[in-house]
């Protein structure tokens, strides 16, 4: 048989093109993948609406918005605030320096109330405040005070008229901030909150009030906090483990299957790259178990290559020529791979439909892994091995891990 160099050249060109793309874009993609809190440090709190409150999707949305505004006060980049179920909100903050303060700020409902002298009856609520109307100011003694503006100046005037000579305590949630005694009815709708010890404390109150109250009372149900350095270490450890695992798999596959093994390794590299691209495009957050699943996924993606390579070996052993064996082996293994993958996809799709958030995320990566592996281990492998076989440069059975004496004569 004459060697057809053009096919071989095509094979090499294809290979170079693929690896060029991978080499050029991988670092951008890897940097663009969001790392979970366990890998970059930070903290996460799951809040649930305290029982006995009316919670509608609208209220939850407002709550989410209020929390977002408040996190802006903290200056955290890219907070992740998600509504879960009918009454829960999950807040994920990566790379927060002062976790204690963040938690204090987040946990507060921050509703400002003016109450009657007994402190029991509420006269004015947070929603009566003008939005963004809180300001930091200083009194005559140069102590910081917080000034607020009320929406309805008339209402405030009436209230203050009613309580002349009495205190009307101002509360933030259940904590009394100050209890100013009304000297005379106040017109104009401006009020002052005193009793802030430091400028920072006063500024924080201003920010809280301007961010607005969280419409419902929230209870901390779950929390999770990781040191940034610990996260970095986990990332390093798991990547190290991954590199060793992948190298072991590559050496094993090439050692056992020779040429189809080499093809498998090429397709596995493309597989890994495409899975990362999928994570990037779908904005999947990569967590520690996610990395583990990804590494094990490589082990499983190899399965399709192994099935095909075994089939090719079988066909060579019964006496077919290499090119006929490759064709028959690829064709026969296709349905097997298809059926076995479809069943896994069915399982993953059901998990996605019926599972809760974390299970959903898991099933998305499972489905992505299977689809990509089907594309690479079946499509790409076939293309590559056909090109090689048609070039007539690789027709020795030993290249497929079959010894000459194993081949039965027909």
**Touching other proteins, residues 31-70 (CB under 8 A):** 38, 46, 48
Which string of DSSP letters, residue by residue, matches 129-159? BPTT--EEEE-TT--EEEEEEBS-HHHHHHH
CB atoms within 10 A of CB 72: 12
Please, are residues 228 and 40 in contact by the beta-carbon 8 Å criterion? Answer: yes
Residues 114-173 that bind other proteins (CB under 8 A): none
Instruction: Please tell me whether residue 241 binds other proteins under the rule CB under 8 A.
Output: yes
Q: Is residue 253 within the footprint of other proteins (CB under 8 A)?
A: yes
Residue selected from 78, 281, 342, 379 as contacting other proteins according to rule CB under 8 A: 342
Smallest gap from residue 154 Cβ to other proteins (A) = 44
Query: Which of residues 306 and 393 has its CB atom nearest to other proteins in the complex?
Result: 306
Does position 91 bind other proteins by CB under 8 A? no
Residues 263-292 that bind other proteins (CB under 8 A): 288-289, 291-292
Distances (CA, A) of 51 to 216, 218, 219, 233, 295: 10, 9, 9, 40, 43
Contact flag: residue 358 with other proteins (CB under 8 A): yes
Tokens describing residue 273: 């790259």
Instruction: Please list, in sequence order, all residues whose beta carbon lies within 8 angstroms of the beta carbon of residue 239, skipping any fewer than 6 positions away.
Output: 291
Number of residues lying near other proteins (CB under 8 A): 72
Instruction: Report the nearest approach of other proteins to the CB of residue 151 (Å).
Output: 36
Residue among 106, 99, 94 nearest 287 (CA): 94
Please, what is the end-to-end C-alpha distance for the chain in angstroms? 21
**Which residues, at least 6 apart from 246, have a Cβ–Cβ distance to it below 8 Å?**
268, 272, 295, 298
Site for other proteins contains 298 (CB under 8 A): yes
CB of 114 to other proteins, least distance (A): 30
Binding-residue pattern over the window 212 to 231 for other proteins, x denoting contact by CB under 8 A: --------xxxxxxxx-xx-
Nearer of residues 115 and 311 to other proteins, judged by Cβ? 311
Interacting span for other proteins (CB under 8 A) from 57-65, 207-215, 269-277, 354-362: 354-362
CB of 377 to other proteins, least distance (A): 12
């Amino acid at each position: 048989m004459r060697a057809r160099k053009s096919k071989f050249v095509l094979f090499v060109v294809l290979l170079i093109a693929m690896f060029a793309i991978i080499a050029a874009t991988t670092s951008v993609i890897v940097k663009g993948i969001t790392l979970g809190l366990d890998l970059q440090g930070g903290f996460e709190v799951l809040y649930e609406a305290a029982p006995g409150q009316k919670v509608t999707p609208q209220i939850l949305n407002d709550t989410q918005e209020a929390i977002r505004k408040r996190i802006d006060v903290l200056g955290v980049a890219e907070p992740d605030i998600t509504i879960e179920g009918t009454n829960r909100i999950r807040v994920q903050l990566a790379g927060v320096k002062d976790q204690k303060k963040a938690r204090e700020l987040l946990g507060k409902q921050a509703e400002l109330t003016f109450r009657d002298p007994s402190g029991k009856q509420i006269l004015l609520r947070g929603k009566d405040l003008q939005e963004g109307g809180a300001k930091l100011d200083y009194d005559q003694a140069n102590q910081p005070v917080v000034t607020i503006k009320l929406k309805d100046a008339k209402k405030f005037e009436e209230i203050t008229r009613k309580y002349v000579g009495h205190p009307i305590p101002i509360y933030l949630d259940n904590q009394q901030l100050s209890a100013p005694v009304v000297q005379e009815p106040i017109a104009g709708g401006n009020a002052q909150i005193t009793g802030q010890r430091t400028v920072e404390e006063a500024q924080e109150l201003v920010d809280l009030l301007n961010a607005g109250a969280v419409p419902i009372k929230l209870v901390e149900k779950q929390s999770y906090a990781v040191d940034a350095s610990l996260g970095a270490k986990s990332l390093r450890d798991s990547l190290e483990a991954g590199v060793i695992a992948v190298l072991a798999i590559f050496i094993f596959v090439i050692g056992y299957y020779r040429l189809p093994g080499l093809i498998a390794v090429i397709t596995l590299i493309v597989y890994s790259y495409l899975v990362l691209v999928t994570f990037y495009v779908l904005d999947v957050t990569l967590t520690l178990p996610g990395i583990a699943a990804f590494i094990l996924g490589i082990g499983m993606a190899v399965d399709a290559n192994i099935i095909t390579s075994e089939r090719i070996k079988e066909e060579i052993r019964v006496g077919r020529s290499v090119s006929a064996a490759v064709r028959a082996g690829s064709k026969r293994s296709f349905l097997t791979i298809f059926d076995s993958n479809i069943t896994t996809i069915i399982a993953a799709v059901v998990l996605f439909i019926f599972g809760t958030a974390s299970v959903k995320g898991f099933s998305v990566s499972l489905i992505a892994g299977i689809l990509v592996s089907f594309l690479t281990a079946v499509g790409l492998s076939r293309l590559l091995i056909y090109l090689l076989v048609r070039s007539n440069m690789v027709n020795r059975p030993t290249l497929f891990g079959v010894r000459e004496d194993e081949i039965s004569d027909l």
